[in-house]
Structure 1
C-alpha cells in the first residue's frame, strides 16, 4: 500500500519542483547575479538618505553581460541605457520632493532579466537641506570651540609665570618639533609651542620676544635663521658708534685691574 502511494506523491513533488524552476528561470531575478544599484553625487547635498542636486545612477557588476539597463523611479522609467557605461545622470529638482524608490531593470545577454532591489531616498527641499547642514555644522563648531577653549586654557597654564623677552637679538632659538614663526607684532623669530591652538591657517600662540598673542604661521628653518641674523644686524646698526659691547667693557675692566694691582 505504501509503495502504491509513494509513486503519485513523488510525481506530484517532481511536477511542483519543475514548475518552480520554470518560474524562476522566466521571472525577474532579485539581485542574485552580483549587480547593485549605486548612486554618485556630482554636485549637491547628501546626508544619509536625503539628497538634493545632481547625481549619477550606475550599476556595479559584470558590464559585459549587460544588454540594457532601465533606471526606474518609483517603478516608472527614467531612462534606458543600451551601451556601456550603463549610467544615467539626473537632477532631483526635475522630480517631486519627498521619498522615492530608485531601482533598475537589467537585461542580460542570456535573455534573463534582473530586477535590482529598490533603494529609498528623500529628494530634499532647500529648507530641509539647510536644516540638515545646520545639524551637521553646529555640533562641529561646538567641538571646535570646546577644543579651542581647552587649548587656550592649557596654553595659559603652561605660560603662566614665564616672562617674554627671553631671547637676545641674534640668539639661536631651539624651535623643536612644532617649528617656529615670525611674529606679526614684533617681526622677530619665535618658537611655536606644542600646546598652541591650531586654527588651520596658523596657530594662535604667544611670542617669546614681545609676549603678545597672534596668529603664527610656521616658517622654514632657513627663514628663521636668516631672521635671527637680521635682528642681530639691526641691533648693531642701532648701536651708537662709541657704544661698547659687554665683551669690550669686560675686557677694559680686566685691563684696568692689572694696573691697580
Structure 2
C-alpha cells in the first residue's frame, strides 16, 4: 500500500501523482525527457521519490500541457525567470492564435468550394519577365517552419551576396517545387536576384532564370493570409489554364520590403510562368 511517505519527507510516485494531478505515465515521460526528474531513485527497488518543492513545477507543467504546449517549449519556459516566462508564454500563444486563424481560413475556403460559393476575385495580369540572375538555396520544410525558414534563407543569401560584392535589393522569391503542408516538405527554393559578380558556395547556387511569360496577381499584406491567398493562387492557375500551359513552378515574389500598414499597397505577387 502506498502511504505516500518516502525517505526524508519525500513523496512516493503515487502520492506525488495525487498531489499534482499528473498520472504515473506522465511522470515517467517527464522523467525520461528531463523535464521533471525525481529527487531520488532507490538503487535497489527502482522506486522514485519526489521532493515537496517539486510540486509547483509539476503543477505548472500540467497546466501548460493542458494548453497543449510541447515539452520542448515547456522546458525553455521553466528555465526562464518569471518575467521571461510570461513573455515566452505570450509569444507562444500568439503563434497558436495565428495557426488557429490559418486553419479557420482553410476550413472556410474548403466549405465555400464544397458549396460552390463565390470567393473574392483577383484580377490576373500577364507580363514578359526579363532574364534574371539569382542566388538560391533549396530546402525541404513543412508548413509549421515555412515562414521562419524563408526568412532565415533570405538573410543567408543576402549576407553571401554582400560578402562577394554583388548588388541586391529588397526583392526575393520563393519557388514551390512541391506541396508544403504539415505532412509535405516541398521542397522550396528561396531566391534573391542580384547584379554584378558573385561566387557560389556549398549551399548557395547561382543560376539564370530565363526570360518568360508569367501570369500574376498582386497582394497586399492583409491578402497574404488564408483564405485570400488561396483564392489568388486559384485565380492565377485558372487564368493560365485558359491561356496556355504552366511553364515552371508556382512562386511568390516579394518585390519590396514587407509593409503591413493600411494602405501600404502591394507587398507580394502570386506568379505562374506559362507558355
TM-score range, shorter chain: under 0.3
Relative contact order (alpha carbons < 8 A, sep ≥ 6): 1 or 2 greater?
A: 2
Which is strand-richer, 1 or 2?
1
TM-score of the superposed pair, with normalisation by structure 1? 0.19
TM-score of the superposed pair, with normalisation by structure 2? 0.18
